[in-house]
Amino acid sequence: MHTPHADLESLYAEIVRRNSGEAEFHQAAREVLDSLGPVLAARPEFTEARLIERIAEPERQIMFRVPWVDDAGVIRVNRGFRVEFNSALGPYKGGLRFHPSVNLGIVKFLGFEQIFKNALTGLGIGGGKGGSDFDPHGRSDAEVMRFCQSFMTELHRHLGEHTDVPAGDIGVGSREIGYLFGQYRRITNRWEAGVLTGKGTGWGGSAARTEATGYGNVLFTAEMLRVRGEDLEGRQVVVSGSGNVAIYSIEKAQALGAHVVTASDSSGCVVDEKGIDAQLLKQIKEIERGRISEYAERRGGSARFVPGGSVWDVPADIALPSATQNELDAEAAKTLVRNGVKVVSEGANMPTTPGAVRILHEAGVAFGPGKAANAGGVATSALEMQQNSARHSWPFAKVEDELASIMRDIHTVCYETAERYGAPGDYVTGANIAGFERVAEAMLAQGVI
């Protein structure tokens, strides 16, 4: 008889063989499979039903050409993706990413993570992800509009509030969501507010959606500290990135009494001894779409810009990686541990490499994996869907209260699941098993589909 561990090794080898060259997807699959041995030992029916094989294979993968015309009249051609991974718990839900690095492997890694993240919210949403290798950076509003209209002209046929509900991700903010929604409405002749989330609050969007991923990550961090008898008050915090997740992580951490000293972008990082001025950062990044170096220039003497620098070199009690995948590697983790870090919680998707996770775990650092810690964004998207279906709009305070309650529940289920399977304090194991069990139970109930 095979042991579950041996079965998992052969399953992983088969995933790699069938999805060759998709390194990020392999990494995401490995990370989940490494946690599942105890579940398969306890629940042999999951193995008999070939649930892992079925979960690891998307229900549908869509790739398409996106032709558009730039401001100079030159025809450009990009590639569009939507991977509808698993709908056992509800319609596919997950963002669209517009970035030159986007390829099928990255979209599959994000979609696979999304299955378990969405399951953890308890809100009845399946997992999917999409995007394009289009780069909106430096493009005019007119170019972005023409690209979005071409992208949605193909994608619309696969969407619907009961089928697949995309949102934003890197490179897709309220501007892009607006153009995408406008084209969907134009083609379908339907005001179907629930087909996209991240909309403007004046036309079907939810208050607090912009803030939700960053706020949620800090709330999850606060819960990890609470069970250790600690809190955020007076803690030194380093945050990477300067996009939506980073900005609102900084804002919420400061509101809870933390001292946040860093932000970064692809050109380097800023260190601000007085604490990051969130309003100035928003002005530069959200309104002017400028570079992080401009923050140091305008902030004055307390801030310095480090070209090509890493926020992980700055001593801190808490680290919140909030930029992109695999940004915190083993060397950076060693530096953080050496400098006394107590908690690392992922605002971005899979920003910590497997080697870094291992080092943090061995050092006794509380580690919040993205599928749990950054689930506040998609949770608030699901709250937006609720408001849309009722043709109703909730005030900011109500959405924030719901978000806080959801993040507490996610922390509790991860914490308790880890304890139940003999891995107390291991949030990676807790999140992977809890998410997997919810999806697996639904798949088992619904038959071989």
**Given 129, 199, 252, 371, the catalytic residue:** 129
Local structure of 361: helix, strand or coil = helix
Residue with tokens 């990255």: 106
Concerning whether 129 is annotated as a catalytic residue, the answer is yes
Residue 93's nearest CA partner among 176, 27, 162 is 162
Q: What are the percentages of helix, strand and coil residues in the chain, rounded to 5? A: 50, 15, 35
DSSP 295-360: HHHHH-TTEEEEET--GGGS--SEEE--SSTT-B-HHHHHHHHHTT--EEE-SSSS-B-HHHHHHH
Q: With contact defined as beta carbons under 8 Å apart, do 65 and 80 qualify?
A: yes
Amino acid at 177: I
User: What SS3 state is found at 45?
Assistant: helix
From CA 132, how far away is CA 113, in angstroms rounded? 18
Residues 346 and 323 sit within 8 Å (Cβ to Cβ):
no
Catalytic residues: 129
